[in-house]
Structure 1
Amino acid sequence: MGVSFPTGLYELLILGRFLIGINTGIGLCVQPLYIGESAPKHLRGAMAMGSSIFLTGGILTGQVVGLRELLGGASHWPLLLSTCCVPAFLQLLALPWFPESPRFLFLDQGNERKCLRALQRFHGRQHYQPEMEDIQREGFALGSRKAKKPWELFLDRSVRWQLLTIICMTMGQQLSGINAIYFYASYVFREAGIPEGKIPYVTLGTGACECFTALTCGLLIESMGRRALILGGYSLMTLWCVVLTFSLTYQVYWWAPYLSMACVFAFILSFGLGPGGVTNILTIELFTQSVRPAAYTIAGSVSWMSFFTIGMLFPFIVRGLKQYCFLVFLVECSLVALFIFFVVPETKNKTFLEIKREFHRRNFGRIKEQDGELGERRQLSHEF
């Protein structure tokens, strides 16, 4: 992308954006998956939140570097677009030294020796044994099951409610209104009387808010749990949709633009505290090894399709509903909150097998649940 300007080949700019899009699509799926499979259960949520923390930190960094005084000027845009090679180069230097996921090595490849070496590198030679025992128990429970394809999950009754959960949560995350808030932010700041030249600096506050709440979520997730954070986030977002609709309706009053500006920041804070980070963690935790990669493929596809859909439809929603456009997101946030309240259990500090048992009754009913518990007792007795 950097050489597209001096060479005069705009095709290089398109090619660069295409390659970065591929890397982004892979990275947003593989990185949380790798961290979730490698982390111990009591730190899984906090470590998986690293994806959201550094993602929001990268967005904030991009906003700062993109300021007109730095690299945002008309003459510096090739250099600005070239800066993405810096993290890519650092990853090329560092990632080859990372071990493969221990669960993948043991459960998918059947290589116990490499799994042990990977666990010792992650946890140390004195503390890897509990993780190894957890992986072995999951291996005994899965038996000889091979990794499933994404389309096979739609026919698998044992993951029916887990699959429905990640589809609803992933769609809810993208359709919650967070992208609409960013779209409306410049208008709200302008109505609040902020000079046009100062709006880019105020917009930095939105990125800083999301980065701050991602960090806060990472600190709280192992103490408060996933369920409380994501329910609280969607509930607060529903409230701010109501307040923002009210303030946009009464813009003629002097206080309304300031209330709208406060709602923008409050909405972003609520999103980052719950749905922004917890959604990815639950996608990791609701599935065992044989179906997790396929589930992540489905979740990633649903996420990008939802992002594309809201990007295409939101201008028409604004044109048709005007200041009442956030009522659409109010309904969506409240419905997702209700679904999570009635369906999603707490997964904090639980193994993948324990979480699978939580969904067993919902997937099969009471009789199947009793049969499953009996089978697990027999398996554990045999293992002992």
Structure 2
Amino acid sequence: MIRNVIEDQGKVVFICLITVLFSILPVGYYIVLLNVPEKVIQNFIFDNFENIFGLKLSPTEESLVWSLTVSSQGVGALIGCLMVGPISKYGAKHVLMRWNNVILIAGSLLMFVSYWISFPIAFIIGRILTGVYTGLACAFAPLYLQQVIPKNIKGSMSCFLHIAVCFGSSIGAVFSLPFMFGDEDTWPILVVLPAFFGFVMLGASYFIPDTPNNLLQMGRYTEAIESIKFYYDIEDSDEDEIIKEYWDMVPEMPEQLSLCSAFMNSSIRRGILLGMVVSATQIFSGSMVSISYSTEMFRAVSFIDILVPFLPALGSIISILLTIPALRWVETRGRRPLLLKTLMFCIAANVFLLIFTLMSSERTGWASWGFAAAFFMYGVGYNLGVGPVAYFLPAELVPPEAASASLGAAVAVNWICTITTTLFYYPLSKLVGGWSYLIFIIPTSLFSMILWRLLPETKFHYKDSDLQIDPLEIRLLTDLGPSIAPNYGTLDLDEPTLF
């Protein structure tokens, strides 16, 4: 079965894997970027603030400025989320592979230039631009997958979004080590490296056609058929049969509703709100803070100093390995149980992080190793379920015509929560130590209760009923009339996955 899936759909799987990897890798890279070379970039910002503005920052002011610098990526991502609805009409492929990479290149170059002109404001603006890239990439990558990936491996493929983030984080963590590009002279190279992926994706966009779904919606049937042949290697002289075969593999993604229009429907509104809760849970479990401040966390519990700079890279690699089982479990065990059970794991891990941090302040030597074990425990829970599932679940909680609205709202909430946690954790950790983990434990516990009661299973969201009207027939007879949303259908327990 696995061999048949790869043989039949190998080309589209490869295209999607490379597209997702190159689009999402810079997201993880920039999330972890300021973690290891923290002191080096802090000195650049603080010293130039004093030189330019004549301001000598106090320790409290320095912690606030640094929190604002770290969270500025979230500010940009939130701006990007607000752009999702208005620009979704131009197609996921064009936004993801062209326009967004122009933003990535501009942001990377601006951070690079800030070093040479000794102007930290340019660095922060560049980080905001890479945040805009992040927000758009996190919304349009799942939409792109929904428009081209066959439904029998959609869940498994969607988990690669999380793997791509982890892979980007591991590359960023390794490159930011002091003997690589993380010292005071080479960090400009560190911040500009993702521009390479931007140029690669821009070049590739001229060779990869638009998605068949988007072309069919615009009535460009000749281009749509060529696109289907490109992605799926379908060879048939009958054009209607080619389109029918495409619709049999990929759920139809109709013209997208605006967020306001989607909210007018009560059932869609419920799905969007649940997707927003899922997205908030992913961040308030502690994910972004653990990526952005892991070195600070381990220094706070007096962990072995020589090992601390290597922990982000090691953690990212472990995250990739831990996500591999999720590729199968997301299909075989369902989205709901996988999310809820791993969420309980994350809450327990945060409780242990709080306890061991408090113990370490009393000079209990073994507490730092207990903290490391709890940190690994959190990684297990997050990467097996909470992390990968939250990337695509919001789109499955609503009908296909509301997918972009739901993803846009969910990613917006995701980055509002990122701004909140990355902005407040650092000052709180300096002020109250281990009690700062309560900003994860309390909200996540509340969100878990909501999801336990209201979250449905969405694994079979795109299963076709035997009685469902053929979308090709509808299009041929009504000349692109109102779209027919896929129904919930019969269960096929032998559905293949990538594994």
**Shift of residue 169 of structure 1?**
0.7
Q: What is the one-letter code of the residue matched to 2:260?
A: W
- Counterpart for residue 74 of structure 1: 184
Offset at 1:292? 1.5
1:95-139 CA-partner distances (Å, limit 9, x unpaired): 222232333333x42444443433332233169745414768x58
Q: Which residue of 1 aligns with 2:137?
A: 27
SS at match of 2:150: coil
Q: Deviations over 1:167-189 (max 9, x none)?
A: 11111112222234446633553
AA partner of residue 269 (structure 1): V
- 1:104 maps to 214
Write the distance in 2 (CA, Å) between the matches of 1:254 and 1:26: 44
Alignment match, 1:189: 298
Structure 2 vs 1, CA of residues 260 and 122 (structure 1 numbering), >3 Å: closer, same or farther? same
Relative to structure 1, is the Cα distance of residues 284 and 100 closer, same or farther in structure 2, using a 3 angstrom cutoff? farther
How far off its partner does 1:286 sit? 2.4
Aligned to 2:453: 342
- Distance in structure 2 (CA, Å) of the matches to 1:19 and 1:103: 30
1:351 corresponds to 2:351: no
* Deviation for aligned residue 1:72: 0.9
Give matches, 1:7-86, under 5 Å: 13-86=123-196
Aligned mates of 1:300, 1:319 — CA distance in 2? 29
Residue type at the aligned position of 1:22: V
Segment of structure 1 superposing worse, 18-27 or 164-173: 18-27
Residue 247 of structure 2: aligned partner: 132
C-alpha displacement of 1:67? 0.7
Rate the CA distance shift 1:152–1:321 in 2: closer, same or farther, 3 A. Answer: farther
Deviation at 1:92, TM superposition (A): 1.3
Which residue does 2:224 correspond to in 1?
115
Give me the TM-score of the superposition, normalised by structure 2: 0.63
Counterpart among 80, 90, 109 of residue 200 in structure 2: 90
- The aligned residue for residue 316 of structure 2 is 207
Q: Which residue of 1 aligns with 2:288?
A: 179
Matched with 1:259 is 370
d(CA) in 2 for partners of 1:172, 1:333: 6
Shift of 1:279: 0.9
How far off its partner does 1:17 sit?
Answer: 3.1
Q: Structure 2: which 5+ residue stretches go unaligned? A: 1-108, 236-241, 469-486, 489-499
Once residues 117 and 287 of structure 1 are traced to their aligned partners in structure 2, the CA distance between those partners, rounded to angstroms, is 30
Measure how far apart 1:14 and its partner are.
4.8
Task: Point out the more displaced range, 123-132 or 335-344.
Answer: 123-132
Q: Kindly provide the CA deviation profile for residues 282-305 of structure 1, in whole angstroms up to 9, marking residues without a partner as x.
A: 123223332212222212221111
Find out whether 1:246 has 2:355 as its counterpart. yes
Relative to 1, partners in 2 of residues 1:118 and 1:336: Cα closer, same or farther, differing over 3 Å?
farther
Shift of 1:87: 0.8
Identity %, equivalent residues: 22
Q: Once the two structures are superposed, what CA deviation does each residue of 1:262-281 show, in whole Å capped at 9, x if it has no partner? A: 11121123112212111112
- The answer on whether the counterparts of 1:285 and 1:352 sit within 8 Å (CA) in structure 2 is no
Cα distance in 1 for residues equivalent to 2:335 and 2:136: 25
1:262-281 matches, within 5 Å, as: 262-281=373-392
Residues 128, 317 of structure 1: alpha-carbon distance in 2 compared, 3 angstrom cutoff: farther
Equivalent position amino acid for 2:372 in 1: M
Deviation at 1:35, TM superposition (A): 0.9
Shift of 1:230: 1.1
What amino acid is the match of 1:66?
Answer: S
Partner of 1:382: none
Residue 232 to residue 119, structure 1, CA distance change in 2 (3 Å): farther
Contact map agreement 2:300 2:357 (CA 8 A) in 1:
no
Taking structure 1 as reference, are residues 345 and 123 closer, same or farther at Cα in structure 2, changes over 3 Å only? farther
Question: In structure 1, how many angstroms separate the alpha carbons of the residues matched to 2:125 and 2:185?
Answer: 21
Which amino acid letter does the alignment assign opposite residue 283 of structure 2? Q
CA RMSD of aligned residues (A): 3.1
Give, as a single letter, the amino acid of the residue that structure 1 aligns with 2:327: G
Contact 1:103–1:289 (CA under 8 A) maintained in structure 2: no
SS in 1 for 2:336: helix
Q: Indicate conservation of the 8 Å contact 1:185/1:264, yes or no.
A: no
Rounded Cα–Cα distance in structure 2 between residues aligned with 1:70 and 1:116: 47
Contact 1:248/1:257 (<8 A) preserved: yes
The amino acid across from 2:400 in the alignment is Q
1:229 corresponds to 2:344: no
Q: Distance in 2 between matches of 1:50 and 1:149?
A: 27
* Residues 300-336 of structure 1: per-residue CA shift (max 9 Å, x gap): 2211111112223334554665423324422332333
Query: Residue 54 of structure 1 aligns to which amino acid in structure 2?
Result: A
CA distance in structure 2 between the aligned counterparts of 1:21 and 1:324, rounded to whole angstroms: 29
Letter in 1 for 2:347: T
**Retained in 1: the 8 A contact 2:268–2:399?**
no
CA contact (8 A) 2:182 2:190 kept: yes
Aligned: 1:151 with 2:260 = yes
Matched residue, 2:477: none
Structure 1 residues 46 and 94: alpha-carbon distance in aligned structure 2, compared to 1, 3 A threshold: same
Which of 288, 291, 297 is equivalent to 2:399? 288
Give the residue type in structure 2 aligned to 1:35: L
Greater Cα shift, 34-43 or 213-222: 213-222
Corresponding pairs, count: 350
